[in-house]
Structure 1
């Protein structure tokens, strides 16, 4: 569906393409991540959004990272867990997580991480595809839209009955 404010059939798809062209980091699709999370040795999943966004909802088992965290802070807190693990980073659409990967990619490799990837389309694509998001109360239909412009990339779910 097209509208006058954003005359693209899928503004999130356009955003995904722009991010992939701007950053060299490998990406995983939401379906690939869902499969990875079902494995016995699931990836380390990092949510690179502000605490307020994370508290509204997140992908289950994601670890919160402030977007402004330094590479040193990240390694002090998570470096010991990276060996022989895949690391997947996400934010709302993939921009902030790409910027974060830019700071930590080399260090993740040095720590023995198997891969360091960005979730294509971020939590918005995850949510829009119908995968569950959680908060401290369990599964929720809420999603933090980041701002009004980015919010048009989210397809709101009908409230659960």
Structure 2
């Protein structure tokens, strides 16, 4: 739902986020019902399950190592929980910036998962912190799918890829 709202907002209003910080942007779209984890802190995690809540084309372009693509538009909770046996295990959900991932993380929380986090700034902040991303062949890549040209301004490092 947030995905469609974002498209509508960007299309009809011509809103520019040029003066907005990432923190302000996330406060605009997120309820912060799911705690954030920073890219730096996630990079130190050993046993976290990482879920990518972007669409498959975004995931194929680039994703965090060992991330499981669960999607957003066609997210299936029943299919996802089959991969998540321990409801106390640390689970980190991410997307491009941390907006779609909050929705997916909220669904996991409602399903009884108790240790769920949203990656602050998503894959963009991950790459902006010089952390590695991988393509569909599991080879390190510099390419980052940026969801849209409007959102790409938040990616400061790497090669921006659009559909």
What TM bracket, shorter-length normalisation?
Answer: 0.7 to 0.9
Q: How many Å separate the matches in 2 of 1:137 and 1:71?
A: 25
Q: How many residue pairs align between the two structures?
A: 142
Q: Which runs of 5+ in 1 are unaligned?
A: none
Q: Is this contact kept in 1: 2:144–2:158, CA < 8 A?
A: no
State the partner residue of 1:89. Answer: 93
Q: How many Å separate the matches in 1 of 2:117 and 2:64?
A: 16
State the partner residue of 2:71. Answer: 66
State the partner residue of 1:128. Answer: 128
Q: How many Å separate the matches in 1 of 2:91 and 2:24?
A: 25
Q: How many Å separate the matches in 1 of 2:34 and 2:138?
A: 33
Q: Is this contact kept in 2: 1:57–1:144, CA < 8 A?
A: yes
Does residue 14 in structure 1 map to residue 24 in structure 2?
yes
TM-score by length of 2: 0.78
Does residue 102 in structure 1 map to residue 109 in structure 2?
no
- 1:119/1:19 Cα in 2 relative to 1: closer, same or farther (>3 Å)? farther
1:88-125 CA-partner distances (Å, limit 9, x unpaired) = 0000011111011121213243xxx5x11100110011
TM-score by length of 1: 0.79
- Residue 11 of structure 1 and its aligned partner are, at CA, apart by 4.0
State the partner residue of 2:3. Answer: none
1:37-92 CA-partner distances (Å, limit 9, x unpaired) = xx3xx1000000000000000011101102121322322x3232x34420000000
Does residue 48 in structure 1 map to residue 59 in structure 2?
no
Q: Is this contact kept in 1: 2:94–2:123, CA < 8 A?
A: yes
Q: Is this contact kept in 2: 1:49–1:96, CA < 8 A?
A: yes
Per residue, is there more helix in 1 or in 2? 1
- 1:157/1:35 Cα in 2 relative to 1: closer, same or farther (>3 Å)? same
Does residue 26 in structure 1 map to residue 32 in structure 2?
no
Task: Return the index of the structure with the highest Cα Rg.
Answer: 1
Q: Give the 3-state SS of the residue equivalent to 1:148 in structure 2.
A: coil
